[in-house]
Amino acid sequence: MTHSGGRVRPALPGDPALIGPYRIVGRLGTGGMGVVHAGLGTDGRRVAVKVIHAAHAQDPEFRARFRREVQLSARVHGPCLVPLLAADPDAAEPWLATPYAPGPTLNEHLAASGPLTGGSLYAFASGTAQALAAIHRAGVVHRDMKPQNVILGPGGPCVLDFGIAHAQDGTSVTRTGVMTGTPGWISPEHYRMGTAGPAGDVFAWGALVAYAATGRLPFGTGAPDVVAFRVLSAAPDLTGLPVELRVVVDRALAKDPDERLSGAGAAEACSLLLASQSTRSLGATVEPTLVDGLVGVEWEVPTPEDPDWPAPPARPRASTIGVVIGAAVVAGSLVGGVLALRPSDGTDASAKNPVAAPVRAPGTAGPTGPKGGAGAPTVTPELVGDPRRAAVPVDPLAGVTNTAYTRSEDGVAPTTAEWQASTTAPGPEERKAAEAMRKHVGLILGTKDMDFMEPVVTFNERAQTVMITGGPVSTLSDLHKAQFARAGRMAACAALARHLESAPTAWPYGRFAVAWKGDEQTRQPDLLDFGQATDGCFNQTAGSWEGGWEGITAARMPSTAKDEVTVADRVVKKVQDTWDQSSSIAAGLPSLDLRNDIQLGFDPVEHAAYVWVWDTHRTIASRVDRARFRAHVRETVCPELLARYRAGPWPYDRVSVGLYQGDGGPPEFIGSDTCTP
């Protein structure tokens, strides 16, 4: 679709006045797929509403693809992305809405102002790479990274248009034999075999950064088959790129996808370059946790005004709008946000209802019947000890009929209206559940010195959903938000699963949402995560727990729990010493250096210890070596964890092993184990 360059064009005869909750005020662009309308939410927020042409909507295959793409877009959130607000894939003319991203496309900026330079170029490379990494973390492939799909907004670049995105797991609905993508931005393997995976996105990203820096397409212009030949056989023209950035882009444009950086690797490499750029210009050390904020700080691309937008109406006291999925690029001081989160009046955080909705009296009947009052069944397991140690049922409603929770087949995210209608605990059983969730979240976050992020727990019985809400603060880092989201998910999922198993015909809550408020007055929070307790609360493959990038990211955050630090120091030294004395020496391999190579940390969400190795010399290279090292870690770490577990309180009884091999990419996990006596 074409983009209006930040200007609203007049609506045409026949254009709708209202789409969903949005008032249509003009057009932003048109294309073969449909029309992008300019809209206003009931609170005056500017939105872009993409409506699919009626002809496409009549095609069942196309509609199935669009419905799948809406579901995929809801999974993606992160910096420099335009999140999904709302959608109706089943409407006569399907539509989806995103926040309006003001500013020109990269193409439009290059035509008007020339290539990006200095800090703005590094911010562009870092921001778009971080967006791509977030897309891939959600299990999605963008498949159309090109200049028309990047907006140069006021605070940094924004990647948009998931119109042909698909899942990495192969569950998308696609047309057989159709080449998707745009010539010049298509990877060699896509030309050869028609495959479009994460590595193909990285190739397009490399071409995008080169284009932003030089104003030239790295493989030139011309007929599609000529461009394709150059992509397959010629070296890219990277003349004019800064030397450090050229090294990264050259790796992204490797012909062999196995030789390319990952999206996460590109993000990490460019973030380091951005921080280095800022260090040189500001003459000060830049904290790694503030790299995301540096995108906004270094960004110097002017955004044209939008005088054609009508003035927003006065903000109503109550509004129904689509839910925001995702987090904005963070800029500013983390310290101020941390202080703002601490309660200042000494009251229980759960007593502060974050929504403007009446509180139902305890014990009164709701949509699923009476509960919580006199004579209602007791459904809450006793709150004893550390809730992280209590068993969590994988399928709490197995074999039960006539359950009170009836939305187990509903995979749609809770809406802002449902969040607004939620209330503080309406009955004694809800109050017990809320207490368990708050305690669980506090225990998880406390190990990383983040227990200042005290959650508010509210309930919407009609939606059968529990809301875990953090904030208000607008300048919290994405890393902290992600950890709050994981803590809220685990606490809500575990508590709800136990309740569903204990009283499946009486307890109606099975869904949960984790949200973040940017300010006290907001009625439109960021939805960080959502799910349901009937799907299981831990990462599992074939019934076995599996470690992952979220867990190792948490484990790499410094622990402030003294017992964790003590155990980690002792265990990692034991892993080092016993490996050097046995497996490594016996196999004739060089020993690992404790000071640099082996580290151990804890993920309090999934009760796991992570051991990771900076294997820059590829000491643990072969499959046999990796299997030997995994077994060595299991045999060394598990007894230590179980001994500490039996002494209690201590939740960690899992271990996962990851290898970092010096390419700046994510770790390769070589095994995960649940320790048993």
pLDDT digits (tens, 9 = 90+) for 611-644: 998 877 777 878 888 888 899 999 999 999 999 9
Give percent of the chain above pLDDT 90: 34
Q: Is residue 373 part of a domain?
A: no
CA distances from 509 to 149, 228, 385, 435 (A): 40, 54, 24, 15
Confidence of residue 141 (pLDDT cuts 50, 70, 90): confident
Please give the pLDDT value at position 108. Answer: 87
CATH of the domain at 94: 3.30.200.20
The number of folded domains in the chain is 4
Active site residue 15: no
Q: Are residues 84 and 134 located together in one domain of the fold?
A: no
Which residue, 298, 324, 344, sits at the end of a domain? 298
End residue of a domain, out of 99, 131, 159: 99
Both 49 and 84 in a single domain?
yes
Q: Classify residue 639 by burial, with Cβ atoms within 10 Å: 0-12, 13-18, 19+.
A: middle
Pair 308, 7: CB distance under 8 Å: yes
* Shared domain check, 651 and 564: yes
Question: Which of 59, 88, 144, 569 is flagged as catalytic?
Answer: 144
Residue 110 belongs to a domain: yes
Band (pLDDT 50/70/90 cuts) for residue 598 is confident
Report yes or no on 311 lying in a domain.
no
What is the CATH number for 221? 1.10.510.10
Q: What is the pLDDT of residue 279?
A: 54
Instruction: Say whether both 532 and 557 belong to one domain.
Output: no
Give the whole-angstrom CA distance, residue 221 versus residue 183: 9
pTM higher than 0.95, yes or no?
Answer: no
CA of 227: how far to CAs of 233, 280, 477, in Å?
10, 38, 41
Residue 552, in any domain of the structure: yes
> What pLDDT, on the 0 to 100 scale, is given for residue 315?
35
d(CA 511, CA 532): 4
Residues spanned by the domain of 571: 545-674
Distance CA 593, CA 614 (A): 10
Pairing outcome for strands 34-40 and 22-30:
antiparallel
Six token digits for residue 412: 């749609």
For the chain, state the CA radius of gyration.
26
- Judgement on whether residues 532 and 662 belong to the same structural domain of the protein: no
Q: State pLDDT tens for residues 371-426.
A: 333 333 344 444 446 788 788 888 999 989 899 999 988 888 899 899 999 999 98
Q: Do 223 and 242 fall within a single domain?
A: yes
The answer to whether residues 625 and 485 belong to one domain is: no
41 and 83 both lie in a single domain? yes
- How confident is residue 112, by pLDDT bands cut at 50, 70 and 90? confident
Structure-block tokens of residue 506: 């009486």
Q: Please report the beta strands in 93-210, taking only residues with DSSP state E, as ranges in sequence order.
A: 95-99, 140-141, 150-153, 156-159, 166-167
405: in domain? no
